[in-house]
Structure 1
Amino acid sequence: MTELILSTGNIVSGGPSIIRKPGAFRSNLELTNSLRSNFLAAQEDYALEQAENSQSDDVNGNSDGSTNGTTNGTISGNGVANGVALDTGIGGRPPASVWTARRDGALYVPAIDWDAHGLQEEPAQYDITAKLFFLPGAPVSQRAQYAKQALEHVLRELRAPAVDLLIVSFPGMSFEGDCEWEADKQNAGQGNEDEEIATWPVIEELHCAGLAKKLGLAEYGTEKLSRFLQKVQVRPVVNQINLKNCCNVPPPLGKLAKEQGIDLLVHSDCTDILPEGTLRELLGPGLSGAGLLADPETGAGGLQGDLTPQWVVKYTAVVRDRGVIENKGYFAGAELAEE
């Protein structure tokens, strides 16, 4: 078994990964585009470093004394950066061993220089929100580990002692229908209520440990929220819903939230945020992949085995006084059962 930890880095400083238009449908393009961009950037950084080292060798010891000029870190299809032949892996890419890293039993894709990360000001100056997606297909029994791991990575990335709000998104949940009443009715039978209730004490522990100041849920309609509140000790103070097909909050849900002191927030996150096929494409040997996985037809190069996405966490750090997002990104966890 190989545990994979994927990261996007700060997608605010790296530029927009997708232009969102008002009213656009939910998608996972922000996550997938940001991951793909970060993989490529890590590979190009290696190409730049190797090309510079090769040029230095040319200047100091080549028989013809030639150099190759300034490098820009771009990798060509045959593994050449500005005329310098590189040590390449699958598809002309740098081998995974130089742009990924193994640490604490996990493979980080790409490798992370934690010393270069963190917020510019003191954490108290920010509103930090993390949204944890438990993915379908991952063992429910491991959710305690997933939650702690996800939050740990966010806090380390931001160098913060806690997040202000931790929102939990369970699989199989949505808030869609021809109208707000229909969406609320359909929501009542979605998800797995027993698993959701059994998972919540894990989230409560993070709150009691001071790592998450407030807790929230995503995609809970009136009936599900009402039943949930009766069975938990630490109650959520936020409920995130998507109104893609509906213009208004269902009146019963608005009434319940007001009575229980719960804030209703609107979001545009994708429900099925990281399917197995999408993750395999991101890491695969194809033109849009990172070349980490072996060719499925020939088995040549890379890792092989069954790939299971387990969790995704999205985080944002907003400068409280200015309302500006300074840091935003994603981490994702997966397991590769190697053949």
Structure 2
Amino acid sequence: MADEIPVIPKASSIFIHSGNIINWNRLKRKPSTTPVEEISECIGSTLQNYFESADKNELQYLTELNCVHQKFKEKVPSEERGDLKLTVKIFLCSLQTPDYVTESIEKALSELDVKHIETALLAFPETENEEITLETIQPYWKALERMVDKEVVWSIGIADLDKKMLEQLYEWAEIKPIINQVNLDSCCVMPKDLVEYAKLNDIQLLTHNDPRTVLPIETLQDVIREKSTEKDSEFWEPLWVLRYSVLIKCRGIIQSKGFILKTQRDPKRRK
């Protein structure tokens, strides 16, 4: 949009749901797309779809936007639910509150119209001055455990823990992690001590290629700017990104995949 008049001048938070990107032919033709590029394209396409169908006058007054790509939104078919496995990975972009874990899971349940998630994985952001410790993880893991207690999540796991941190979490946690995702870009070969500990405690080690920062602030603002105006893009920061995948169990085929995320901007910084 080339218009210099802000499209969403009062907006302070945005929920975005890409819908099922398996149906996005454009993404299918780009197998080398990085996770950051994939998320960026999903955000851009969803915002464009939302802005094109929204009432432009109403947008001027909205403080919270719920942007869903209506063309690709799909609920998980209830009649097929027993044959499907739903896995979500929650990327924390901010460590302000463990409520982000609860919020992201509840949003996924609502958007996909399901009563439970088979597996939820937790990924922590890369921080400049603060090391991720057990004390950092604990409140967020507790939030996951509460979801298991409510039976809306059946099993939980985590990403990027070395043997020492995984052991600390396992010994402390009431509900043990069943998965630890390892980024082989950072270690090339699975560490022997990690493999031995995981085997001893029945923890599955899976590989992934997700960066610690899946949605850089600058990337988010660039996408919003491209779909609205310069003024609209100021001061936005991602809070969390949830990626979901629905697998057909007996065939090992991904039926559905998408992103749900929340971003926020500080109203005090908008003048």
Coarse TM-score class (shorter-chain normalised): 0.7 to 0.9
Matched, 1:6 2:16: yes
Q: What residue is the counterpart of 1:180 in the other structure?
A: none
Post-superposition CA distance 1:312-338 (Å, at most 9, x none): 100000111222211110011111222
The CA distance in 2 between the partners of 1:16 and 1:153, in whole Å, is 26
1:33/1:332 Cα in 2 relative to 1: closer, same or farther (>3 Å)? same
1:203/1:165 Cα in 2 relative to 1: closer, same or farther (>3 Å)? same
Q: What residue is the counterpart of 1:130 in the other structure?
A: 88
> TM-score scaled to structure 2, two decimals?
0.83
The CA distance in 1 between the partners of 2:230 and 2:45, in whole Å, is 21
2:56 alignment partner AA: P
Runs (5+) with no aligned partner, structure 1: 48-93, 174-188, 297-302
Q: What residue is the counterpart of 1:143 in the other structure?
A: 98
2:160 and 2:181 in contact (8 A); partners too:
yes
- Look up the SS of the partner of 1:132 in the other structure: strand
Matched, 1:244 2:185: yes
Post-superposition CA distance 1:223-245 (Å, at most 9, x none): 11111112211110000111125
More helix by percentage: 2
Alignment of 1:65-214 (within 5 A): 95=56, 97=58, 106-110=64-68, 117-120=74-77, 121-136=79-94, 138-139=95-96, 142-144=97-99, 146-172=100-126, 190-214=131-155
Q: Name the larger-Rg structure.
A: 1
The CA distance in 2 between the partners of 1:107 and 1:37, in whole Å, is 15
- Look up the SS of the partner of 2:185 in the other structure: coil
Once the two structures are TM-superposed, the CA of residue 134 in structure 1 deviates from its matched residue by 0.9
1:40/1:3 Cα in 2 relative to 1: closer, same or farther (>3 Å)? closer
- Look up the SS of the partner of 2:266 in the other structure: strand
Post-superposition CA distance 1:101-146 (Å, at most 9, x none): 96xx7311347599x631244322101100001114x51xx222x1
Q: 2:227 aligns with which of 287, 290, 306?
A: 290
The CA distance in 2 between the partners of 1:106 and 1:309, in whole Å, is 14
Structure scoring higher RCO (CA < 8 A, sep ≥ 6) equals 2
Q: What residue is the counterpart of 1:316 in the other structure?
A: 245
The CA distance in 2 between the partners of 1:28 and 1:101, in whole Å, is 31
The CA distance in 2 between the partners of 1:192 and 1:6, in whole Å, is 30
Aligned residues between the structures: 254
1:330/1:304 Cα in 2 relative to 1: closer, same or farther (>3 Å)? closer
> TM-score scaled to structure 1, two decimals?
0.67
Once the two structures are TM-superposed, the CA of residue 208 in structure 1 deviates from its matched residue by 0.8
2:18 and 2:69 in contact (8 A); partners too:
no
Matched, 1:38 2:49: no
1:101/1:247 Cα in 2 relative to 1: closer, same or farther (>3 Å)? farther
